[in-house]
Amino acid sequence: MPQVLLIEDHQTVRDGLQLALTRQGHSVVAVATGEQGLERLQTAASDVVVLDLMLPGMDGFEVCRRIRQQGDLPIIMLTARNDDMDVVAGLEAGADDYVVKPVQARVLEARIRAVLRRTGGDSRRPGPERPGLHQHGALTIDRAALVVSKDGAPVSLAPTELRLLLELSHTPGQVLSRQQLLEAVWEHGYLGDSRLVDACVQRLRAKIEDEPSAPVYIQTVRGFGYRFGPL
């Protein structure tokens, strides 16, 4: 049973989401502040965090950054519809996906499932992996163990970043559009938010490129999308 940590300050929203997600078969722990959430993560494991960005005290962005510093736990943000800036800032802080409040429980649930499928432990998803060790320049991608290392040193990637890298490196030299990547990695229907891709590419570049402003592995093809290599 997936463990969901819900951090949401409004009690009725918290109760409503907890009720609905529990009915969907999740084990939900709901807390009201970011501090409580971080504390909870110290003591008990969670599979995914559902995080409201507008929190009293420590705000959602800071909570997001702290969780990212400690590991690759998937994070889904709850944002307000009128805050485009929040979406961008939240994605830059390391969130994997976001939903806009008010959100129906089944929409949130679908996102949780999708993000859980991206984590290494969930092997049900039929991906484009060709198991085995693949060497791309200084980058070694072990598609079976789902481990990435650069010059022999392991690179810590969040689940979404890893999936994006696997997706792109599966077909080196081939351009994939943002919408294709959204469908393949985030499992959004068509017309997802392409900023998800852009933000994730930025984070991925920061981790694997020598010079993130002059990327070698993940290249932007203006007017089309992204491409792995050619090296």
Distance CA 110, CA 42 (A): 27
- The strand pairing partners of 228, in sequence order, are 218
Q: Which of 104, 123, 171, 174 binds another protein (CB under 8 A)?
A: 104
According to CB under 8 A, which residues from 3 to 32 bind another protein?
10, 12-13, 15-17, 19-20, 23
The least distance separating another protein from the CB of residue 189, rounded to whole angstroms, comes to: 6
Which stretch, 43-51, 76-84, 201-209, 211-219, contacts another protein (CB under 8 A)? 76-84
Distance CA 48, CA 29 (A): 11
Query: Cβ closer to another protein: 13 or 31?
Result: 13
Distance CA 222, CA 70 (A): 34
84 touching another protein, by CB under 8 A: yes
The least distance separating another protein from the CB of residue 65, rounded to whole angstroms, comes to: 23
- Which residue from 88, 37, 41 is spatially nearest to 58, judged by alpha carbons? 37
Q: Which of 29, 58, 80, 110 binds another protein (CB under 8 A)?
A: 80
Distance CA 111, CA 194 (A): 16
56 touching another protein, by CB under 8 A: no
Distance CA 118, CA 128 (A): 13
Q: Which of 36, 179, 202, 220 binds another protein (CB under 8 A)?
A: 179
106 touching another protein, by CB under 8 A: yes
193 touching another protein, by CB under 8 A: yes
Amino acid found at 129: E
Sequence-distant (6+) residues with CB within 8 A of 219 are: 226, 227, 228, 229
Count of residues binding another protein (CB under 8 A)? 31
Query: Cβ closer to another protein: 36 or 179?
Result: 179
Which strands, in side-by-side order, build the sheet including 133-136? 133-136, 139-142, 147-150, 153-155
130 touching another protein, by CB under 8 A: no
Residue 207 CB neighbours (<10 A): 15
Q: Point out which residues bind another protein (CB under 8 A).
A: 10, 12-13, 15-17, 19-20, 23, 80-82, 84, 101-106, 177-179, 189-191, 193-195, 223-225
